[in-house]
Structure 1
Amino acid sequence: MKKLKNLMLVALIGMSVLGTWSCNNEELYEEPVAVVEDESNEDVDDAVTDVNSLCDFTLENLEANSTVVVNCIIDLQGESLDLPENVTLLYEGGDIINGTLVFSEGSSIDGDLLGNTLEVGGTKPALRDTAFTFDPKRWGIIEGIVSDEVARNNRDILENTMILAKEYGIDTFKIDEMDAYFNVVEIKANYRPSQAGITLPSDLHLIMSDNTNLRVQPNNYKTVALLGFYLTDNVIVEGGNLYGDRDSHDYSDGGTHEWGHTITLDGSKNITIKNVKSFNATGDGISIGSYGHAYDSHYRYCDNILITGNTISKNRRNGISIGDGRNIVIDNNTFIDNGVDTALSKGTQPRMAIDVEPANSGGVIFQIANNITISNNTESGAQSLSFYIASGNDILIENNNTEGSISYWHAYNCIIRNNTITGVTEAHKIQTGISCGSHALETSNYNNKIYGNKVTGYLIGLSVVSRDIEVYENEFIDCFEGIALSELYDSKIYKNIITSSVPRSRGITTKIPAKILNNVIISENKIDVVLSAFGFYDINLDNDDYKFEIINNDVKSEGTSGLSLLNGLTFNNNIVDGGLRLVGTLNSVISNNTISTNGAIGIDLSSLNDNIEVFGNMVSIEGSASV
């Protein structure tokens, strides 16, 4: 029979085990304490207690300074029970249910004894451990397919339990085996999705396991979030499987329904999301944005965000979207098939792995995206691009391995380096591996560097329109065109390697209509392609002051390189295997080059050229040299 027994020895042991309690430790151990002991098994070392049986003792008439080991069920039967000072309740597999415990000063309780049928009043007791393990059954979560009402209750239980845990000083919240649906649709006017979802409190480490499955209850809402960070700070979310409802969603009311995310961050700071698996959102796996707009007095942006070690797969829109934020690191994640169609739902634009796209319109800045690092990620199967920067400052994209292309539209102080981009589909053969810039005169498109990248199997390896950009030490393999230039100012293209066996492939070309290359130097590149090493057309014809140089390159092609309808070129000290043709070239210099060809002419100045200087070149035709 279990009974309460005073033991001085327990007091001494308790001082060692429980010495980290946060309140009244000295007073707690001045008197003997009480423990639960099974008298019928006093002489049996390995006695086993049935933790699911009702206790044959109660908590009534406890003395101050008592310690109770709870290894059975204490049913309060709906009553409220006042406890004396310095009472300690220890968890050993049992439970306290159906009532209220009113604690006095100096008391403590194991967090595992907290539950949805036990209310706690009086002086808040201390917890023996700041880590708490959430037992879904104990707290009333109903797993499996459920009604909307039950799924909403699941959401409320989980969120409220995290809030309660924080009130007790818990900083680590653990969930192991659970597979449940959560109704996260908006239920209050002006609620943001990050508030309607399972909203995390600040200063918490949420740890989930591979056995933790959180699912969005199927719905017809355009905008939802499974996990929400709403003005939340100092949180780590680790592990777990998050499922959207893309294939069971109701799209019947029209529209894109592209704003349903498994994780949404609004105006939150110091957040880490790691080792999470995100699947099948109607929108994005992770969405990062602000509270308010950049011009609002209450504006709060996301800051110091780390997203690492996650697997983000088959989300209907994007893997990750960044609308607003500073100091964001996206590192060592795996992106799979984001934006693709499934048998039950179509993807929706823009269908990327990562999309950095702050909202700006008509010169008004609504959102800002600065200081973002995208590194060491693996991407495959995205319906559109792998990584896209619509606009941003201080963006670093490095050491990624992708199938989809990398692109920016408006960016400054941007670096794209040491990435491996491998086209594997027929679609990649009509796309560009790296796209840089939108308009050379845009003030938001400058001081960018593209280097150390390897691009294979694309129509165009790299396309650039910009000013103040350096493109160097990249390798382009089996692309139809290695580098395609459009409007370009104050820029350098150098030490790149372009090789291609693709029929009619070309090395460095200009896109039609390129129009302008001013103060641009193309130097020390190595090119070995099929049709032509250089193909430049329609350059600087409207401005005699614009100049560009092609110097010190080593190039080879079966066909002739063409320099046509251009103005202000210096073509100097190049090694050209394949010959050179100039048509409509003005105010240019062709000098000190070594040119060889199997054709009839080494340098073809056939027509419409004016004010051309040609001197110092060594030309070799079918083995016979001439100057």
Structure 2
Amino acid sequence: MKLRFYNIIILLISLSCSKDEVINVDQGDEDNNVPDEIVNTTPCNFTLKNVAPNTKLTINCVLDLKGETVNLPSGVELVFDKGQIINGVVNFESNGSIDGDLLNLSLSITGDAKLSNENFNFFGDRWEMKEGTVTNEVALENRKNLQKAIDLTSALGATKFSVEKIDVYFKITPIDETQPYGNTIEHTILLPSNFHLSLHEETVFRVQPNAFPWYSLMTIDKKENVKISGGNFIGDRYEHDYVPFFDRHGLKRSTHEWGVLLLVRGSENINIDNITLKSSIADGLITGSEGHRIYPETVWNKKVSLTNSIVSDNRRNNISITDGEDILIEGNEILDAGIGETLKDNDGNTIYSSAGVAPRFGLDVEPFVGYDDFSFESRKTYEWVENVIIRNNIFKGNEAGSIIVYTGDNVLIDGNFSDHVIAQNNTSGSKIINNTLEARDDVRGRIGISTSDYRKFIDFDGGTLKQYATGNDVKNNTIRNFFGGYNIRGNNAEVSGNTVEGATVCLLINKAENIKVHDNTYTSGAIASKAIRLTDYANNIEIYNEKFTLSNGFYLESIDFNMPNDDFHLNVDNFKVTIRESEFNSFRGPTIKNSRGVEILKNKIYSTTLLKNVTDIKFNNNTSEVINLTYHGISLENTSNSEIKNNHFTVKKNVFEGIFQVDSSVNTNNIIVNNTVEFKEL
């Protein structure tokens, strides 16, 4: 949520011009404190010639240098008193000092000098900033003039650069936008190291509408200790000319998906707070490297934070994290990424417009990783991301999903609200905890949380797959009204303490190994809902202390599970899933068909159980009471090498059986012992 600050400005103005009694402007610690405007336009009756060393000179009039360079001796201090110095160069011999309020576009400072106060206040009229709709030429001058002020004040020792309320367009693309290549860094607004850009809450920096496929409104490039606070950065998404475009290599770039409002690359200790990033042709914020990591000179981001901000309505992703470590995204509103219906021509080709372009996520963690072949050995890490915290944000209205961790490790997603999916693709050590997911109407057919599954061959020869995705826990989330609660994949993870409501499939497990699922609660009234669905294969899965209440559903669906399949490149003969010590309140029984290696132990089951074309199944020590006594306790058809032991069944008297074998001749090598049956009247 974007915070608003209201500041009290205290100006202590002395009326004396003596060395010890000059203007004293108390900047304080609050953002956007500003001094009085220039009010004295009277020409000065003195010059800067023949000023003695160590003089403190108060400027309370207009001193026109008339294009000349004035050399000042050592120790001279120029003090602002509602005057100005214009049209020239002031060169300080050594140990010079100047009030920041004397700086303006027509004055250059050279030599050895510093600002008398590290906090500089930027006024647009002093730097010839033209507000409102302007020509390309004026928008270009706006950018150059702001850059000159930033560079000059930083060189003079400013650590805080406060901008008054202004609304300005900046041209940040080449003058000739038809050229096949443009270096973004040459046209952006660049921030220096050790610098705080503080913007008034109503200040707006806008992208001058253009036809170029890539740009950056503001860039922090290989810098350290930079902060941006306040203000609004607005792109040209709805004014952009999406003309067909080819780059210098002849590649088509007509998607126009590379324009970003704020680019942070190869930088360290960067804090972005309380800003708005809106309506870019691509992304609101990108954090990345200044090159590829395969080159030893490449540097990447470290310790970057985005807090208390609004990132919304950007055409591609709202936020993309493509390289870096120790990144924090906290307390933000991340809204409406990639919205807009894609248009097609009569031949089915996409007509590129302000409508969203893929991936269209609220936040996308996606460094570029390549492989020369299908093995892990061939991996090349061009970019990489690790140690990211995404905490206490609000994700709403994003087109394809709220968060995707496509690649990268140790990404913590904690305490967020989301009306769309949270998903992983290729990650390890990443946690999804304490989030609330409530599906909006148009995404109710999706799965709320999907964990990572990323398998490749161990070596080029293939034959055996290795699972990269490990340790991706899912804990203490609330998931409401998605088709699927969560899909658990990967290796060596824990899923616990979650609440799933209104799902058609509560818990999906596939392509998973060494997973513990326990102490979760599931409720649903969806027609034909399933408590658990097992697909493809899984091994060493423990599901226990679960509680399912499905008023119109099945407690388990397992079809074509753990059956030999050459596509798996795994021997699944001894794979096993154990479901134990859980409670299944469901109206209908499960379908366990064409499956193997499923153990159902010590559960309370309130429906029938159906086994068909299965092997290596264990159904032991369960208490099974069929709701409304509408079917057998358990039914076996073409079941082999399985156990049904020590169960207690409750069924309708004189109608159904505790254990029913459709055709006992095709049920082979089973152990069916020590089961009891209780018959009841309806």
TM normalised by structure 1 equals 0.89
Determine helix, strand or coil for the equivalent of 2:255.
coil
CA drift at 1:180: 0.8
Give distance in 1, aligned partners of 2:361 and 2:41.
51
Matches within 5 A, 1:305-344: 305-341=304-340
Alpha carbons 1:231, 1:266 under 8 Å: kept = yes
Alpha carbons 2:173, 2:182 under 8 Å: kept = no
Which residue in the other structure is 2:418 paired with?
402
Task: Choose the corresponding residue for 1:359, options 354, 368, 379.
Answer: 368
Which residue in the other structure is 2:644 paired with?
614
Give distance in 2, aligned partners of 1:576 and 1:430.
28
For structure 1, the residue ranges without an aligned partner over 5 or more in a row are 1-6, 21-47
Give distance in 2, aligned partners of 1:310 and 1:55.
46
Establish whether residue 388 from structure 1 lines up as the match of residue 388 from structure 2.
Answer: no
Deviates more, 1:610-619 or 1:545-554: 610-619
Which residue in the other structure is 1:281 paired with?
280
Which residue in the other structure is 2:558 paired with?
536
Task: Choose the corresponding residue for 2:385, options 365, 369, 373.
Answer: 369
Give distance in 2, aligned partners of 1:94 and 1:18.
15
Which residue in the other structure is 1:452 paired with?
476
For structure 2, the residue ranges without an aligned partner over 5 or more in a row are 1-14, 28-36, 246-253, 343-352, 372-378, 456-464, 565-571, 655-675
Task: Choose the corresponding residue for 2:60, options 59, 71, 76.
Answer: 71
Q: Which amino acid aligns with 1:434?
A: I
CA drift at 1:52: 2.8
Which residue in the other structure is 1:110 paired with?
99
CA drift at 1:174: 0.9
Task: Choose the corresponding residue for 1:523, options 535, 544, 560.
Answer: 544
Task: Choose the corresponding residue for 1:148, options 136, 143, 149.
Answer: 136
Distance 1:174 1:243, change over 3 A: same
CA drift at 1:50: 4.5
Alpha carbons 1:285, 1:318 under 8 Å: kept = yes
Give distance in 1, aligned partners of 2:144 and 2:272.
22
Matches within 5 A, 1:210-221: 210-221=201-212
Determine helix, strand or coil for the equivalent of 1:304.
strand
Determine helix, strand or coil for the equivalent of 1:535.
strand
Determine helix, strand or coil for the equivalent of 2:528.
coil
CA drift at 1:74: 1.9
Deviates more, 1:103-112 or 1:416-425: 103-112
Determine helix, strand or coil for the equivalent of 2:162.
strand
Which residue in the other structure is 1:292 paired with?
291
**How many equivalent residue pairs?**
588
CA drift at 1:19: 14
Distance 1:603 1:119, change over 3 A: same
Establish whether residue 245 from structure 1 lines up as the match of residue 236 from structure 2.
Answer: yes
Matches within 5 A, 1:126-525: 126-186=114-174, 192-254=183-245, 255-341=254-340, 345-362=354-371, 363-426=379-442, 428-439=443-454, 441-510=465-534, 514-525=535-546
Give distance in 2, aligned partners of 1:432 and 1:161.
50
Task: Choose the corresponding residue for 1:582, options 611, 619, 625.
Answer: 611
CA drift at 1:167: 0.9
CA drift at 1:13: 4.0
Determine helix, strand or coil for the equivalent of 1:430.
coil
Deviates more, 1:309-318 or 1:111-120: 111-120
What is the Cα-based RMSD across aligned positions, in Å?
2.5
Determine helix, strand or coil for the equivalent of 1:165.
helix
TM normalised by structure 2 equals 0.82
Q: Which amino acid aligns with 1:566?
A: S
Distance 1:623 1:292, change over 3 A: farther
Give distance in 2, aligned partners of 1:398 and 1:412.
16
Give distance in 1, aligned partners of 2:39 and 2:546.
78
Distance 1:17 1:153, change over 3 A: closer
CA drift at 1:66: 3.4
Distance 1:396 1:56, change over 3 A: same
Give distance in 2, aligned partners of 1:19 and 1:421.
48
CA drift at 1:63: 4.2
Which residue in the other structure is 2:44 paired with?
55
Establish whether residue 603 from structure 1 lines up as the match of residue 625 from structure 2.
Answer: no
Which residue in the other structure is 1:29 paired with?
none
Give distance in 1, aligned partners of 2:285 and 2:234.
12
Distance 1:346 1:568, change over 3 A: same
Distance 1:126 1:580, change over 3 A: same
Give distance in 2, aligned partners of 1:65 and 1:408.
64
Alpha carbons 1:193, 1:228 under 8 Å: kept = no
CA drift at 1:207: 0.5
Deviations 1:134-193 (A, max 9, x none): 111101212211121221121111112111111101111111111111111146998642
Give distance in 1, aligned partners of 2:653 and 2:160.
78
Determine helix, strand or coil for the equivalent of 1:184.
coil
Q: Which amino acid aligns with 1:78?
A: G
Determine helix, strand or coil for the equivalent of 2:148.
helix
